Chains A and B, each alone.
Chain A
């Protein structure tokens, strides 16, 4: 369980013309709870504080005010840091910045090795993790040889090998092509569903948000929306006010509903769209 209470984060900005530094508030009193096993997505414009927020979840940053508790452990306390990082694994946007091993296997072993686990246990965890992300066959190759999606899956395997209860990912699909993005997303959903790992995913892709259990929207350092994708995407006007839009398939169903066709609000997946379409087509006795 993640519990963030009244979190404030400020940093000093030095004016470009010189002079005294100014304090900028990036997080302005954020409170939220993420229960175990939830798949939560964080959306928000650039500079709204979402990356800063998730960096607090495993103690990469320290709070100026407020607390971050991970299973009751204070993520801001030095003595709890090791245990907090065992609980919460992080994956960043650019896989090239976090891959360090000469081979896939070696890279995946880094986390367990740092934790001083016995080598038999390390071996078991690597086998398991690489199998989960579909990289068992490539264990001996250099990570340079992997595709963008492969590297990102390796980064996830490395985090998963530490058996975290929660994975926090900061725009892990931003640099990936569509096929690779699909691979990474379905992997995250599998880890969530099959292993019960809590997932906190920062993204710009509305389609990724549509598949989550819960969507949080940040703006100017605050959480301004918090609900299910059904709630969020049912209100396009509220979304526009937050500079967000709806997934492509939702937009099509919305436009058809405006023309009088009885699509539900919102339609969140292609499968749902097709099913509702076929039902409507049958009802008018037309298209089929």
Chain B
């Protein structure tokens, strides 16, 4: 059963001639980890804002558990709560004295008692590995990666069914970035929450997502597993987002005469396919 469904949605700003989104259709089921890629200006953020009702489509419908969210009488606040949206650089919105107060803010704001809110916040913090002593610290004393996790916990505390993140790893480097991506995957594995995330890192999308949506000029070009989408190297380059480094290296080797029928997209997969190619002549032409 789908949690969320975009049914032929199009969106235009009143003053603009060309639509930002064109006839987009896809659905989100529980436990999916979906990536959303596209060049700047392709409509990614606009699409995300439709998923929790911040924007209404000009045409088409957003369905939540099969119910049309645009129909009269639909409680948009329910959608806001069940579809948690994490904006870029969410740690800029941390403002309370302690991590626990900050993460409780969402549920308190939605009318939960302070006990309920604290319980939800503790649960969310535990999921982000910020339990125990972290809760009494000032959010400003956390490292960059931890601040990001705390900000995501603030959205998780509202117990959404779908977590939507706009470039969750932006501005994080090295291991902090890897840790965050692994965290999100574990969150999905342990809770069965559906996650949809925007990323400019083709490596991360290949490594961590099960399914990849590709937007270009407001239209949905692909909705398929990343291993499949990244075979379309020329098309991905033409729209400005490219392919993972290992995919492009394998493609170059193929161009130079090696027999690589399917291009690898993940590091581990690339290592094993390259080792096979080097390991004796059995895969040669």
Contact = CB atoms under 8 A, between A and B. Distances in A.
Interface string B2-15: 00000000000000
A281 B252 CA distance: 14
In this complex, which of B144, B175, B278 has the most chain A Cβ atoms within 10 angstroms of its Cβ? Answer: B278
B140 interface: yes
Interface stretch (B114-122, B227-235, B237-245): B237-245
Contact of B174 (A45, A273, A278): A45
Contacts of B267: 248, 251-252, 255
B245 A277 contact: no
A287 B281 contact: yes
B271 A274 contact: no
A147 to B, nearest CB: 6
A45 B143 contact: yes
Contacts of B175: 240, 243-245
B97 interface: yes
A181 to B, nearest CB: 8
A43 B246 contact: no
A277 B257 CA distance: 12
Contact of A274 (B40, B170, B249): B249
Contact of A286 (B200, B253, B271, B281): B281
Interface residues on A, range: 35 or more
Nearest to A205: B173
Contact of B240 (A177, A244, A252): A177
Given A248-B246, A252-B270, A286 B252 contact: no
A181 B240 CA distance: 10
A89 to B, nearest CB: 23
Contacts of A281: 258, 277-278
A186 interface: no
A177 B202 CA distance: 10
B253 A247 contact: no
Contacts of B40: 147-149, 176-177, 180
Contacts of B253: 274, 277-278
Contact of B277 (A181, A251, A287): A287
B248 interface: yes
B284 A286 contact: yes
A270 B248 contact: yes
Contacts of A16: 97, 138, 140
Contacts, number: 145
B64 to A, nearest CB: 30
A11 interface: no
B249 A287 contact: no
Contacts of B279: 284, 286
A251 B174 CA distance: 13
In this complex, which of A15, A16, A149, A206 has the most chain B Cβ atoms within 10 angstroms of its Cβ? Answer: A16
Interface residues on B, range: 35 or more
B241 A274 contact: no
Nearest to A250: B245
Contacts of B173: 43, 45-46, 203-206, 244
Contact of B176 (A175, A182, A239, A243): A243
Nearest to B147: A46
B145 A46 contact: yes
Contacts of B186: none
A288 B240 contact: no
Nearest to A239: B174
A182 B245 CA distance: 13
Given A252-B249, A255-B267, A46 B143 contact: yes
Among all A-B residue pairs, the 4 with the closest Cβ atoms:
A46-B144, A204-B173, A179-B240, A286-B281
Interface of A: 15-17, 43, 45-47, 147-149, 171, 174-182, 203-207, 239-240, 242-245, 247-249, 251-252, 255-256, 259, 261, 270, 273-274, 277-278, 280-281, 284-288
Given A252-B270, A270-B252, A277-B253, 12 more contacts: A46-B176, A47-B144, A177-B40, A178-B241, A178-B242, A243-B176, A248-B267, A252-B274, A270-B245, A270-B248, A284-B280, A287-B277
25 contacts: A43-B173, A43-B174, A46-B172, A46-B173, A149-B40, A174-B170, A176-B40, A177-B38, A203-B173, A204-B172, A204-B177, A240-B175, A244-B174, A249-B246, A249-B249, A251-B267, A252-B246, A255-B271, A261-B275, A270-B248, A274-B252, A277-B278, A281-B258, A281-B277, A286-B281
